Structure 1
Amino acid sequence: MESKIKFYESESQKFQPSKHFISRIQEMENKSSYGAKLSLKWTEILNQTLINETYPVIHPIGQETFSLYAEFPTGVFEYALDIDGAISFIKENNFKPVKVSPSSIINSVDQGNINKDPNKIKPNHKNPVMVLQSHYLTDNKPYCINGNHRIFEAYRNNDKQIEIFVFKDLEFVPFFYDILSKAAYFFEIDYTNVVSNKRDFIKNEQGAFAYDL
């Protein structure tokens, strides 16, 4: 199975966040009065909050982070996730793992980007197996952000169960490493709500995630 990681890594370096935001903001503005209202707020956020944000984010040495890539008409964007921060969040909020069969979760692993040579694998069990599932980031499919080798090995060994932590839609927002990643995720939800005339995950007809930044 061929991985697209190298392609994503290369293309994400060329991504221009402001170009992406402006393009979608214009779509929102022209879609409805609700969209026009949000376009003003997101323009304000872009010009005041995000203008000085570094992209791509600089991953700190000694801290475990994960890059999750999203393809847009404007290019490939890198979402930065703080894996070390995620484990702290799990402990602080007393999240519990679920037990699943490896065969049911193997598709969350990018097998084209996994080292299958046991002699070259460096075990790292410091952080638990974590899987994200989001309508806006993973096409509502599970995606492993930590523990790919453990899932793969459990699957290859025909283990009956493996413990994983699953985080859906808004549950993993605290894992975003930088403001731009969080803003881009909230922006996609608002954008989708405007163009599809939905109000997913918001409290009222005029609400939006733009007001939560």
Structure 2
Amino acid sequence: MESKIEIYETESQYFSPYKHFISRIQEMEEKSVYGAKVAKMWAEILNQSLYKETYPVIHPIGQETFSLYAEYPIGVFEYALDIDGASSLIKERSIKPVQFTPSNIIDAVDQENINKDPNRVKPNHKNPVMALQSRYLTVNKPYCINGNHRIFEAYRNNDTQIDVFLFKDLEFVPFFYDILSKATYFLEIDYKNVVSDERYIPSEKGAFVYEF
């Protein structure tokens, strides 16, 4: 199966966050009274601050980041994740990894997008192996954001286990590098809550727009 990463990299350059937000806002407005209230708040945030944000985000030189792509009706959006920042948070909070057998985590790796020739791989173990699992971004399945080669090599070598730092749903929100990534993620949660009534992640304030 061919990787879509190169296609996503190109298509994401033409994504319009403003059009995406307007589309979601309009759908929520028409769904219910609750949806209209949430949509109004998102419209205010969009028009007051988000329209000023640069997209796609400029990844800083010398800092390790990761692009996670999501397909939406108007195109492909690039979520920017701060890998160095995630590593710092792991140390600050003394977060413990989850031990996986490589065969149980290999599906988190996009195998068509990694170099499988060990002679051409440049090891970079500055940051630990990390994966996200989200109902809104990864179909509730683990997706590796750092350490793809290490998982693949552990699987290929039939290792008994590998340590992976696994972050679910709201746990990885601090990793978003830019404001648009965080806002878009929260928007999608509210959108699903309103339009599909998928309340997998409840908000203490009634909607995630109030927490943004």
The TM-score, its normalising length taken from structure 1, stands at 0.97
> Which residue is 1:54 aligned to?
54
Percent identity, aligned pairs only, is: 75
Unaligned stretches of 5+ in structure 2? none
- 1:203 CA displacement: 4.0
> Which residue is 1:165 aligned to?
165
> Which residue is 2:132 aligned to?
132
Give the secondary structure class of the aligned counterpart of 1:120.
Answer: coil
- 1:198 CA displacement: 3.9
1:102 aligns with 2:105: no
> Which residue is 1:5 aligned to?
5
Give the secondary structure class of the aligned counterpart of 2:51.
Answer: coil
> Which residue is 1:212 aligned to?
211
- 1:2 CA displacement: 1.0
Q: Which runs of 4+ in 1 moved over 3 A?
A: none
Deviation readout 1:88-134 (Å, 9 max, x if unpaired): 11111110011110000000000010001111100011100001000
- 1:32 CA displacement: 0.3
1:212 partner amino acid: E
> Which residue is 2:41 aligned to?
41
Give 1:1-213 correspondences, 5 Å limit. Answer: 1-203=1-203, 207-213=206-212
Deviation readout 1:6-64 (Å, 9 max, x if unpaired): 00000000100000000110000000000000110000011112011000000000000
CA distance in 2, matches of 1:12, 1:41: 26
CA distance in 2, matches of 1:110, 1:124: 18
CA distance in 2, matches of 1:4, 1:202: 32
The TM-score, its normalising length taken from structure 2, stands at 0.98
Give the secondary structure class of the aligned counterpart of 1:104.
Answer: helix
2:113 partner amino acid: N
CA distance in 2, matches of 1:188, 1:173: 13
CA distance in 2, matches of 1:71, 1:90: 29
CA distance in 2, matches of 1:163, 1:51: 40
Alignment RMSD (CA, Å): 1.0
CA distance in 1, matches of 2:67, 2:94: 25
- 1:201 CA displacement: 2.3
Unaligned stretches of 5+ in structure 1? none
Give the secondary structure class of the aligned counterpart of 1:119.
Answer: coil
Give the secondary structure class of the aligned counterpart of 2:63.
Answer: coil
Aligned pairs, number:
212
